[in-house]
Structure 1
Amino acid sequence: MDLFFKYLQYEKRYSPHTLTSYHTDLGQFAGYLLQTYEITDAAQADHTIIRSWILSLVHQNIQPRSINRKIACLRSYYKFLLSQQRIAVNPMLRIKAPKVSKKLPAFVPEESFNQLLDSFEFENTFEGQRDRMILEFLYGTGMRLSELIGITKSDIDTYQRTVRVLGKGNKERIIPINDSLWQSIEAYLQHKKTEFGNNNSEKLLVTTKARPLYPKFIYRVVKKYISLITTSEHNSPHVLRHSFATHLLNKGADLNAIKDLLGHASLAATQVYTHNSIEKLKSIFEKAHPKA
C-alpha cells in the first residue's frame, strides 16, 4: 500500500485531498478483510469478497456517491497490483458500481450575490477585506477551495491582471481577474502589508497570525455571508464555483471556455450546468427563433 500511495502522489500526481480519501478507503477495506475473513493481504481478496464489502457499505446506508469513490480507489489499487505482478487477475473487472442519481449543481441567484457585494458594508480592516476577497475570488474565478488556499502573491500577474491556478493533477491554468476582484485584491494586499509589514507569508490568504488559511476557515466565511442572502443549506465554497459557471452560461458564454476556466478535464463535467440554464435557453429561443 505504501508503494501504491507513492505511485499516486509522485507519478499520478493526485491531490492531497484524494490521497487522504484513498488512505481512509483502503484502511477501511483492509480492516474489513482482517475482521471478516482474517485476510492480512488485500491481494488475496477475490471479487466475491470485494462485493461483500460493498454490500456491507450499502447496509450501513453509506451514500452511493461515497461507495463509488471507494470502488474507484479499489480499481486503482488492484490495477496497480496487476502492474506490479502481485495478482494474476484483476478482481475489480467483475465489480459494478451502484447508480448515482444526478443532482443539479446548487447556485446562488446572480442578483442576490451582486446585492451582497454591493450593499453589505465589509469592515475596512484586514479581516473585513480578506472576507470580501474570498467571496470575490471564488465567485469571480470559479476556482476550487483547495486552489484558492494554494495561491501565492507571485501567482497574480498585476500587469496582465490574471491569476495562475494549480488544479487537479498539477494542471496549471490562467484565469482573468475582473475589475471588482482586482479592487478587492489591491485593498486586501494594502491591509495585509499594514498588518504584517514586508515579512508576511508568501501565501495570499492568511489568518490574523499570518498563517496560511485552511479549508474550515474558508467554509465558515462563505457560510456566514451566503446565509445572509439565502435560506438554502447549500452555502459551501463550491456553490460559488457552481454560480460562476451557471451565470456565465446564462450570459451566453461558450461551454468550452467555461470548461477551461473551471479546469475540467472533459466537456462532460461542464455540461451539467446546461441543465440549470434550460429556462434561460428557452427564453432566448422564444425571442430569437422565427417559429417560436
Structure 2
Amino acid sequence: MDKYEQLFENYFEERELAENTRKQYLLGLKKFRNRFGKDFSKQNMMIWKNELKKEYAPKTVNIRLQPMNLFMDLINQPRNKVKLLKIQQPTSVENVITREEYDYLCQKLVEDKNEKMYWRIQFIAKTGARVSEFIRFTKNDLKNGEAVMWSKGKMRTIYIPEQLVKDSAEYFKNVDSEWLFPSPYNANNHITSRGVASSLHYLANKYNIREEAMHPHSFRHFFAVNMMKKTKDISLVSDLLGHASLATTQIYTRISKKEQQSHMNKAIDW
C-alpha cells in the first residue's frame, strides 16, 4: 500500500466506514491512477469525467467520481474536484412489489407450507431493513424486538413489529442457529445477500410474479410506501429506514405511474 492509498485508509479508519465503502473508494483511486498515474490535475479529472460519461450511466459516473473528489480534499487540492452529474429523480416507481402481489405471494407460501420463505418475506417486508441488515437478524434481536447494528457508517436500530415477533416465535424455536436466517450450508453463518436475491428470483418464476419486482430492495421500498400511506409521517419513515436525509426518503415513497393516474382521475372534478 503506497502513501495515496494510506490516505484513504486513514480516513476510513478515523470514521469507521463500512468495508464495502473502503473497497469502492480504493477501486476508484486505482482506476484513475491506472489511467493517469500520479497526475491528479484538474485537466485529468475533466478527461476522466468525460470518459466515464461515454461508458457509464450517470449514477455510475458519480459513484466513480466521488472517490477522486474526496481524494482531492485529502491531498489539499480541492480546486481539482469536478462536479457530479445532476440526476433527475424518477417521478414514479415501477419495479416495486404491489400489495396485491405481496398478498398473493404470502398466500402461496402458506398454501405450499414453505415456512422458511414465508418468514423471510415477512421480515424483509415488515422491518424496512436493507438486505445487508436483514441477513444479520439474530434470535436475540427477536427477543428484544429490535436489532441494533452498524450500517452505512453509523449505528442503526431496526424495529421488529410486536405481532411479527409473536407470530414467528414458534417457527424460530426450531431453527438451530443464533441467526434467524442461517446459511443452508453452515448454520454458524447467516444467509448471504446473493442467497436472498436468488430465492426471490426462484419465487418469481414459480408463482409467475413480475421478476423485476422480486428483488430484496423492492420489499424495503414496499415497506416505505405502505408506512407513508398509514402514517403520513415522512420523518418517522425516514427514521425507520435509517436515512440521513428526508430527500432520500422521498424517493422511496413515490408511487407507480398507474397509481398516479388513478389518483389524478379520482381527484379531477372540474
Question: Same fold, TM exceeding 0.5?
Answer: yes
User: Match of 1:220?
Assistant: 198
Instruction: Kindly state the Cα deviation for residue 218 of structure 1 after the two structures are TM-superposed.
Output: 1.1
Contact between 1:137 and 1:181, CA under 8 Å: does it hold in 2? no
Letter of the 1:99 counterpart = K
User: Match of 2:89?
Assistant: 102
1:237 maps onto 2:237 in alignment: no
Letter of the 2:86 counterpart = K
Taking the aligned partners of 1:154 and 1:269, their CA distance within structure 2 comes to 30
Instruction: Kindly state the Cα deviation for residue 235 of structure 1 after the two structures are TM-superposed.
Output: 2.2
- Which secondary structure does the structure 2 equivalent of 1:156 belong to? helix
User: Match of 2:133?
Assistant: 147
User: Match of 2:63?
Assistant: 69
Corresponding residue to 1:207 among 138, 163, 183 = 183
Corresponding residue to 1:189 among 159, 163, 172 = 172
Taking the aligned partners of 1:148 and 1:5, their CA distance within structure 2 comes to 29
Letter of the 1:149 counterpart = I
Percent identity (aligned): 21
Corresponding residue to 1:16 among 19, 22, 47 = 19
User: Match of 1:129?
Assistant: 115
- Which secondary structure does the structure 1 equivalent of 2:212 belong to? coil
Instruction: Kindly state the Cα deviation for residue 268 of structure 1 after the two structures are TM-superposed.
Output: 0.9
Taking the aligned partners of 1:56 and 1:280, their CA distance within structure 2 comes to 39
Which moves more between the two structures, 256-265 or 148-157?
148-157
Instruction: Kindly state the Cα deviation for residue 232 of structure 1 after the two structures are TM-superposed.
Output: 4.4
Instruction: Kindly state the Cα deviation for residue 190 of structure 1 after the two structures are TM-superposed.
Output: 2.2
Instruction: Kindly state the Cα deviation for residue 130 of structure 1 after the two structures are TM-superposed.
Output: 3.0
Structure 1 length as normaliser, TM-score? 0.77
User: Match of 1:36?
Assistant: none
Instruction: Kindly state the Cα deviation for residue 255 of structure 1 after the two structures are TM-superposed.
Output: 1.0
Taking the aligned partners of 1:215 and 1:251, their CA distance within structure 2 comes to 29
1:55 maps onto 2:50 in alignment: yes
Change (3 A) 1:174 1:120: closer
Taking the aligned partners of 2:98 and 2:202, their CA distance within structure 1 comes to 17
Letter of the 2:181 counterpart = L
Change (3 A) 1:78 1:164: same
Instruction: Kindly state the Cα deviation for residue 52 of structure 1 after the two structures are TM-superposed.
Output: 0.8
Letter of the 1:170 counterpart = K
Deviations 1:111-168 (A, max 9, x none): 22022113323765xxx4332222111111111011112333323334xx33334332
Contact between 2:149 and 2:157, CA under 8 Å: does it hold in 1? yes
Instruction: Kindly state the Cα deviation for residue 229 of structure 1 after the two structures are TM-superposed.
Output: 5.1
Structure 2 length as normaliser, TM-score? 0.83
Taking the aligned partners of 1:203 and 1:274, their CA distance within structure 2 comes to 30
Contact between 2:200 and 2:214, CA under 8 Å: does it hold in 1? yes
Taking the aligned partners of 2:262 and 2:228, their CA distance within structure 1 comes to 9
Taking the aligned partners of 1:122 and 1:12, their CA distance within structure 2 comes to 48
Taking the aligned partners of 1:203 and 1:233, their CA distance within structure 2 comes to 28
User: Match of 1:275?
Assistant: 254
Instruction: Kindly state the Cα deviation for residue 2 of structure 1 after the two structures are TM-superposed.
Output: 3.3
- Which secondary structure does the structure 1 equivalent of 2:175 belong to? helix
Taking the aligned partners of 1:10 and 1:151, their CA distance within structure 2 comes to 26
Letter of the 1:58 counterpart = K
Change (3 A) 1:110 1:259: same
User: Match of 2:104?
Assistant: 115
Structure 2 gaps of 5+ residues are: none
Report the count of equivalent residues.
260
1:253 maps onto 2:253 in alignment: no
Letter of the 2:85 counterpart = P
Deviations 1:45-71 (A, max 9, x none): 111101111222222x21110110111
- Which secondary structure does the structure 2 equivalent of 1:264 belong to? coil
